[in-house]
Structure 1
């Protein structure tokens, strides 16, 4: 739901409600009181996606209430989005009056970063021709952005198909390549707080880390500096390529990255079947002390959850507190929660990110 206000008192009350909800979900497991990491009330969202809605000869940015795609909410700005996105919105709207750019344009996506980089994706119901390419190059130069054009399975890139982000953890700046169309954390300020919390909770260790669902290496980069070495897995080829670039760009050389799903790695570690992508990796050489997981909303499947039970410490970041609680219920007989946190990635909504450290009893 889109909120027309950002009243600090209302925000504080909503955040308190989220803390209560998380505490109640984790109460059966005797969790400590969660640390709470708040969000700015405005200009926190680094991604935004809009449909275009025609009224007469004019077209507007539009969003819809969930479940209702007939009544558009027309926008001239979007206060929860980054200042860079709000700066670009009217400039792009002026540009799409050019038929070379505006003809059969139906959707616009913005991707920005805390470091000021930005990329715009333009989606069309038509092939992109030479006139589009020339107009898009002129626009990209004028706005100081990269542009990606999409049309029926084809993609045309003006500039780069990724943005560059910089996040500071424990005084060190980490550089991230964030590809267009791939998952990235939407709230950069809170993401930085999440990374700092995970870095602190993991602590300085002399053993190894197993990371499941590593994405573009968001957590991998800072956590790799706290352990001897890391074995990280991710199934998305786009995210794997971004993670490999990020590791190289940050001169991190103690991470081995394997393109496997968490379920496939579980099968490999259980000896169910071998995987060619693990050839040359000596799993026996790892002394895993901690497993780090950041699963999708569905949480860990039962077999992967059972795999994590083998580890002394389970560091778990969750975007769905209900599936987090369900996974902890499976692990509660062998592990207890020693640290807990709430990260308000999505202010003005009921959604929340949370984190727990589970340690063997």
Structure 2
């Protein structure tokens, strides 16, 4: 993990620069002024990954990060102010735990923390050697001492102590939604901003009497609150881990108007265009849906041209993006039929150039 340059005093100017950048990218499309949702200045990041550094001739291991572009000069750290308070509380206790155990420290090379606003925590320890019974016994004692779930990973091995997910709670429009967030799967790193992002999407979609198509639904992060705004939802996701988490989240929250299928956005485009049938859509009558809106939250590459063309069919396109450049490219493809009526900046990644943004496009 690269080391960010943490400087709370510079944060307002950095956020202003990001706002200007988004404004400039969306200016060709006559977009309104971006709504800006800032981040806590510190302790905002709910997950963190550290390499461990061992000096030659020493058995002591330290948390290490690296400057961007330099993988050979470690910056040794004892705390990480952008990470959640729970991660900072766990860091020295975990370090003391592995230093006190030869079974835990031997060939340990990486540590990952996953925490939640609700206070849950999971730690993953990665090794360059097989994990044995001695490792498991010491790992179970440490997990109980730290009150965390713990996952041990090595080539061909994955040992879970406790659960392989954390539990989160996020509030949207006065309702609390519970989420399982699996180890190794994508989750939004900035919980406070994620909550603002969900609230914005909920508001701009509005109360609707028709149906919603959701592409790239992940673990159901947006699916849960948006499903309460429409008649029913058809949601797609390709990752099996995320699909399983989304199904559990729908059940845990009593959301019953969502049908989830494990298809990529490209495959669903082919299905809706009747290019070819898919066994995973057996029993789902696509023609029974009265889609009025589509929600997309694609990877950094944005939507491929065919999927982007598919979204043109809908009256409303609600688009969350982690890459404003590919967002602008997709809007350019849609600009002749849809106009930007709302846009927002969500500062998920303070002290970096990255930003999350959202737009609502409506048919002209």
Aligning the two structures, in what range does the TM-score lie when normalised by the shorter sequence?
Answer: over 0.9
* Contact 1:149 1:155 (C-alpha < 8 Å) held by counterparts: yes
State whether structure 2 residue 3 is matched by structure 1 residue 2.
yes
Change (3 A) 1:333 1:148: same
Instruction: Give 1:65 shift.
Output: 1.8
Unaligned runs of 5+ in 2: none
| CA deviation vs aligned residue, 1:3-40 (integer Å, no higher than 9, x gap) | 554333x1000000000000000000000000000000
* Contact 2:3 2:68 (C-alpha < 8 Å) held by counterparts: no
State whether structure 2 residue 23 is matched by structure 1 residue 23.
yes
After superposition, the CA RMSD in angstroms is 0.8
Cα distance in 1 for residues equivalent to 2:304 and 2:350: 28
Cα distance in 2 for residues equivalent to 1:7 and 1:215: 31
| CA deviation vs aligned residue, 1:280-331 (integer Å, no higher than 9, x gap) | 0011110000000000000000000000000000000000000000000000
State whether structure 2 residue 198 is matched by structure 1 residue 195.
yes
State whether structure 2 residue 208 is matched by structure 1 residue 229.
no
Candidates 115, 135, 158, aligned match of 1:132: 135
Cα distance in 2 for residues equivalent to 1:51 and 1:63: 7
Candidates 77, 80, 87, aligned match of 2:79: 77
- How many corresponding residue pairs? 360
Output the TM-score relative to the length of structure 1.
Answer: 0.99
**Correspondence for 2:123:** 120
Instruction: Give 1:57 shift.
Output: 3.3
Cα distance in 1 for residues equivalent to 2:4 and 2:156: 34
* Contact 2:65 2:75 (C-alpha < 8 Å) held by counterparts: yes
Structure 2 SS opposite 1:74: strand
Cα distance in 2 for residues equivalent to 1:258 and 1:196: 25
Unaligned runs of 5+ in 1: none
Change (3 A) 1:333 1:347: same
Query: Where has structure 1 moved over 2 Å in runs of 4 or more?
Result: 1-8
Instruction: Give 1:64 shift.
Output: 1.1
**Correspondence for 1:106:** 109
Candidates 146, 154, 162, aligned match of 1:151: 154
| CA deviation vs aligned residue, 1:91-114 (integer Å, no higher than 9, x gap) | 011011110110010000000000
Candidates 206, 209, 228, aligned match of 2:209: 206
**Correspondence for 1:268:** 271
* Contact 1:6 1:42 (C-alpha < 8 Å) held by counterparts: no
Output the TM-score relative to the length of structure 2.
Answer: 0.98
**Correspondence for 1:301:** 304
Cα distance in 2 for residues equivalent to 1:27 and 1:154: 50
Cα distance in 2 for residues equivalent to 1:157 and 1:5: 33
Cα distance in 1 for residues equivalent to 2:123 and 2:182: 12
Structure 1 SS opposite 2:275: coil
Cα distance in 1 for residues equivalent to 2:267 and 2:4: 42
State whether structure 2 residue 38 is matched by structure 1 residue 38.
yes
**Correspondence for 1:47:** 47
* Contact 1:341 1:354 (C-alpha < 8 Å) held by counterparts: yes
**Correspondence for 1:94:** 96
